[in-house]
Amino acid sequence: MNDDLRALIRSVPDYPHAGIIFRDITTLLLDGPGFAKTIDRLAAAVGTDFDLIAGIEARGFIFGAALAARAARGLVLIRKKNKLPGAVIGVNYALEYGEDRVEIHADAVAAGARVLVVDDLIATGGTALAAVELVRAARGVVTHAAFVIDLPDLGGAAKLAAAGVVVTTLVGYAGS
């Protein structure tokens, strides 16, 4: 599925650590028609039944912004800690080694707003689940999340589904 897009994603072995295959979307972004088709297909899959898009730093901003402009919906930035100037809500989440934190402006999501979460890739789902938790803590309703790339063997998409979120992905890679 979406083999034309798959062909534009560069796979870099042993980056950033031995044993990881980094799925690099910068080569997809460099290809104008490929980038346009990516947004077309994500937009078709997610529809317009949402009020706001939440893009996850940093590559989720790229796809989230393009989708938000296409649907004429607002974009809320889910950022790493200490980047936002206003009052924030934060959620800590576990990494392979240690912990990280994502934050959102406390006043960014109206109570009951339907929010689509967007990132470039879902692996273990730790980041996306933290983003969902954050939007829910801000009293938004997350029904859908969209990613260009899925690594299904790492289980993230299944965890999001278990959390009540419909997941859209375009290109899957077996293994990690």
CA distances from 14 to 20, 27, 176 (A): 5, 18, 11
CB of 16 to ligand AMP, least distance (A): 9
Q: Which is nearer to ligand AMP, 2 or 51 (CB)?
A: 2
Tokens of 97: 């080694």
Give residues in contact with ligand AMP (CB under 6 A). Answer: 20-23, 56, 59, 119-128, 156
CB of 72 to ligand AMP, least distance (A): 26
Q: Which is nearer to ligand AMP, 109 or 129 (CB)?
A: 129
Q: Which is nearer to ligand AMP, 64 or 125 (CB)?
A: 125
CB of 94 to ligand AMP, least distance (A): 10
Catalytic site positions: 59, 96
DSSP string, 114-141: EEEEEEEEESSSHHHHHHHHHHHHTT-E
Instruction: Return the number of other C-beta atoms located less than 10 Å from residue 61's C-beta.
Output: 19
Nearest alpha-carbon partner for 75 in 85, 88, 62: 62
